[in-house]
Chains A and B, each alone.
Chain A
């Protein structure tokens, strides 16, 4: 995102953080997550190259088999990842997405993030057993609470109405099957 066009949120990382820390220390503290990400990019590239190298030789007219394109893509990824590492070590960090409104990336609400992620994973693990309506309602409640929903009864009511509404819309009107799970026969 060009920070020039969105002076507000784009420069959120420039807002002075908690008092008492020197600028250099703060920058170093914030640098490592991004550094890890860049090293991850390098690792993805290496894995892709290895996968390409292990492909059998080609029998086609060009001599190009399943392996060459992955090797090219993997090499590109490694080069870009290394350049990123260099750029980050020089202190040029990325600008967080400026397209969203009020966000402050200097603070990570990790408890809420974990709750939202857990709600999503719970859906994946339970949708086939408990059925779509229950799994979806649970996911809705989890994400809503993580985003700051305070009124429990209202949240549960909306979750139930919405998940049942979607279930009937898809199974009856659009004729796309969704599992009813333990509610089979009830719905």
Chain B
């Protein structure tokens, strides 16, 4: 089935009263949970997973579609009015968005974020529908070694590019891979890393792991280090929505953000941090005259571009997830888990065996996106009220739902203990600057990568050169090598030409640390 045809088919699946209601419910609940401070889209879906255990599979996925985009919208509201992004993709937009809110232009910032998200989400989702069948055509011809190559790319880019430090990102990834090993080996039936505990033979439940790392880790982090048990929410009461000039300044960043975000989601390029950051610096560079000075002080372009890039990126990650079964972000990893719960393995076969499901999901993303625009622009005041929930009750509620989620998976209190253990791990990772997403991707993708590796080596009777013997895998590894060495190469070239002003923006985080720490000591009285 080709893209547009499939999409039309998807609409016939999604346009039943029941499924439209599920999409609306998902958009509503997703926004409601996503707007709560500190809760990003990945955690929103993980927390709401238990709700769907009794549902038919199609309805559950339509619900997820709404929740996914809803959580993205909700997240931008929080980052603008509260400067608590809750996920790395919203950090950039939070800078100028929050400055606008403080200057009494919060409503305009929310509007440009919402409309930008809608436009980016719509364009990118249509592109997903157009691209997916073509990629599936290629994907069905790929062998085990090609899949292994793609997974290596996903590992390295997610590990090395998410967060400020490649070493810390890769460490997170290694921990995730280790967690993925726990349980019975699929081929030989041997148990690995179970330490004699029969409960661990089935492996660590991924829902438990995700809820632990994101929710419990978050709760413990806030409990241990909060400076105030209250939030300072900026008001938007009585403010005008976008003016004509706002609109004129916003539409180009929306489209440029989409153009940056989508391709970086399709190729496994490691999270939404990079596209949002790229979009921000592009808008800053393109700004003229005094508008350039507005960046960092509340430039509407600095909200419009990154928010569009973030949403287009999120939609883009659906392409490798649905066509290859490779998740490249924490959110995509959780959607993969949701598929696995229903005994479905995303990959090239899914589009033909479960056409209704996949196209229904894509169509629901579009419908949910429209519903969200309707829900968000007029009702944003309602969502803002949610931010007034006192912080103690909010985090106690998050902890309670996390405990419920872990318990409801198997009805076992052993899972709750695992939840707490990994919650402490999540706290430590946050506290010491290790990104969480690579842990999740490693734990979920690790077993799949091992499967493909051993399959490939079984076919070649143990000859490891088979891994780099297919044309596709050669192309993949060469591209990977170029991508990973390019930043260092550019840096080396730039250094020779001596610094230009643009350099400041591209200096790696590590280098800045080096400049940073001596200054810290000087400040001490």
Indicate if the CB atoms of A97 and B430 lie closer than 8 Å.
yes
A153 near B: Cβ within 8 Å? no
A113 near B: Cβ within 8 Å? yes
A3 to B522, CA, bound (A): 19
Indicate if the CB atoms of A16 and B525 lie closer than 8 Å.
yes
Indicate if the CB atoms of B95 and A6 lie closer than 8 Å.
yes
A120 to B422, CA, bound (A): 12
Which residues does chain B contribute within 8 Å of A179, judged by CB atoms?
A: 411
Indicate if the CB atoms of A62 and B223 lie closer than 8 Å.
no
Number of interface residues of A (CB under 8 A): 108
Return A28 CB to nearest CB of chain B, in Å: 12
Indicate if the CB atoms of B175 and A1 lie closer than 8 Å.
no
Return B169 CB to nearest CB of chain A, in Å: 10
For A40, give the chain B residue with the smallest CB separation. Answer: B428
Indicate if the CB atoms of B174 and A26 lie closer than 8 Å.
no
Known contacts A96-B431, A123-B403, A176-B408; A60/B187 CB under 8 A: yes
Q: When the two chains form the complex, which single residue of B219, B280, B435, B459 contacts A143, counting CB atoms closer than 8 Å?
A: B219
Indicate if the CB atoms of B413 and A109 lie closer than 8 Å.
no
A162 near B: Cβ within 8 Å? yes
A94 to B435, CA, bound (A): 10
A5 to B14, CA, bound (A): 39
Which residues does chain A contribute within 8 Å of B430, judged by CB atoms?
A: 96-97
The interface-forming segment of B48-56, B314-322, B492-500 is: B48-56
Indicate if the CB atoms of B227 and A103 lie closer than 8 Å.
yes
List A residues 139-186 near B (Cβ within 8 Å): 139-149, 155, 158-159, 162-163, 166, 170, 174-179
Q: When the two chains form the complex, which single residue of A63, A96, A139, A145 contacts B392, counting CB atoms closer than 8 Å?
A: A145
Which residues does chain A contribute within 8 Å of B40, judged by CB atoms?
A: 99
Indicate if the CB atoms of A140 and B399 lie closer than 8 Å.
yes
Q: When the two chains form the complex, which single residue of B177, B192, B273 contacts A2, counting CB atoms closer than 8 Å?
A: B273
Known contacts A48-B181, A112-B224; A94/B168 CB under 8 A: yes
Give A contacts to B, CB under 8 Å: 1-8, 11, 14, 16-17, 19, 21-24, 26-27, 33-34, 37, 41, 44-45, 47-48, 51-52, 55-56, 58-66, 69-70, 73-74, 76-77, 80-81, 83-84, 87, 91-105, 107-110, 112-113, 116-117, 119-121, 123-125, 127-128, 132, 136, 139-149, 155, 158-159, 162-163, 166, 170, 174-179
- Known pairs A34-B432, A84-B171, A102-B226; list 11 more (Cβ under 8 Å): A2-B91, A16-B523, A66-B190, A80-B170, A94-B432, A101-B84, A105-B225, A132-B407, A147-B391, A147-B395, A159-B396
A–B pairs, 5, beta carbons within 8 Å: A8-B83, A24-B521, A120-B419, A136-B400, A145-B392
